[in-house]
Each structure stands twice: as structure tokens, then as C-alpha cells.
Chains A and B, each alone.
Chain A
Amino acid sequence: GAVVSQHPSWVICKSGTSVKIECRSLDFQATTMFWYRQFPKQSLMLMATSNEGSKATYEQGVEKDKFLINHASLTLSTLTVTSAHPEDSSFYICSTPWTSGTQRNHEQYFGPGTRLTVT
């Protein structure tokens, strides 16, 4: 299956600093990337949708100035948590639908996730 990587897998930062999380599709072009947040023992909550070359679309209640998403290339999307606070500590996961030209298989491929801890 398609491979999506995330980096870093685990990060600890101090309150007030910013953290960048990278999500890469390794073997296909990711025109769309979804970013999720998952709190312990909870489900995934969609934060935003990014499309290559355009501004991200944020879900209701997600602060776009706090969670900056860049999708400048077809293989890389980044999520930057700005001025992080302890309540931002969570597991962040990206996913992208598989496409090849106009072909789709209706599947999404998920990155392995990034554990963010803000102290």
C-alpha cells in the first residue's frame, strides 16, 4: 500500500514555542491532505483539509492562526503549532486519499502520527 511518513514521531516542547510537523507521501502525489488530532482514548477529530497550492480549510472551532498548514508541494504538507500550550498536547495524524491522475481507490492512507507534549 501507499506510504505516508510523518516527522517527528515524538516531540516535547516548552510552552510558548512553535513546533512543525511534516507529513510526506512517499510514493504518490498527495493533492489533498487531512490533518487530525487525537486525544488519549478518543477518536480522530479532523482539524483541517489542505490542498496543494491553496489555503487550507479549517473545521469549525480550529484556530487557523494557531495551527498553520502549508501544502506547497504534492508530496509534503506541514502543520505548525504556534505558541504551543499544554492543552495542545495530543497525537497529530495526517492522511491523504490515494490518487493517480483521475484514478481513485477511495482509500486514505494515514501517517504514523506525531506525539506532541507541551510542558
Chain B
Amino acid sequence: AQSVTQLGSHVSVSEGALVLLRCNYSSSVPPYLFWYVQYPNQGLQLLLKYTSAATLVKGINGFEAEFKKSETSFHLTKPSAHMSDAAEYFCAGRLQGGSEKLVFGKGTKLTVNP
């Protein structure tokens, strides 16, 4: 079954430290991949997307992600964490078959410590 896996349900970093949130997908063909952020009791906001163009994707709020086909990964990074980055992050993929359905990872809660 096509799936998106996020490694680590909780990640804690210090303010100013590197943020790394991991995401792997299962598919024989590169899909469309997305990272979303969700603040409490809110909907999802798109951080960035991969759509078969540049493998290094830059998004909003200083986030970026690199698509690595050999590793079937799409990890999200930010060089320096800010307190406002504390939120839930979801990796999602629009996989094979032409459907616009998204498959979501289980989410990673990012905590930023002062």
C-alpha cells in the first residue's frame, strides 16, 4: 500500500538549533509530496511542495525540504528554530494513480525550548 511515514512523533529542539523532521514515502514513482503545519485547533497550512521539479524545495518561514529518490525521503529542515515554529507537522503525498487524494503521515509534534 502506498504510504507516507514520519519518523518520530515528537521532536524537541532548542531555539536557534537545527530542525529536522523526517518523512519517507513508499512508491515506485516519485509522487507529489507536501509538508503542512498545523497549529492547535486550526486547519493545515502548506509549508512547501515537491512536484517533480527541483529536488531542493524552499518553503515559507525558512523551511526547506530535499527530495531524495534513492532514499525515498523528503525530510523537512530549518537552520534555526524559532519559538513560533512549535506546532504539529504533517508530511503528505499525492501518490500514484492520478487521484488528488492525499495520504498523510502520522505527524510530528515539534517543541521549541527557550
Contacts and interface: CB of A to CB of B under 8 A. Distances in A.
Interface string B64-108: 000000000000000000000000001000100000111011110
Interface string A33-47: 010000000111010
Contact of B32 (A91, A106, A112): A106
Given A91-B41, A113-B41, A43 B104 contact: yes
B90 A43 contact: yes
Contact of B105 (A32, A43, A97): A43
B106 A93 contact: no
A107 B105 contact: no
B100 A108 contact: yes
Interface in A102-119: 106-113, 115
B101 A34 contact: yes
Interface string B16-55: 0000000000000000101010000111111001010000
A109 B102 CA distance: 12
A62 B111 CA distance: 33
A97 B43 contact: no
**Main SS at interface, chain A:** strand
Interface in A77-100: 91, 93, 95, 97
Interface residues of B, number: 20
A49 B102 CA distance: 11
A111 B43 contact: yes
Given A4-B43, A107-B46, A110-B43, 11 more contacts: A34-B102, A42-B106, A42-B107, A43-B106, A43-B107, A49-B101, A95-B44, A108-B34, A108-B102, A111-B43, A115-B41
Interface of A: 1, 4, 6, 32, 34, 42-44, 46, 49, 91, 93, 95, 97, 106-113, 115
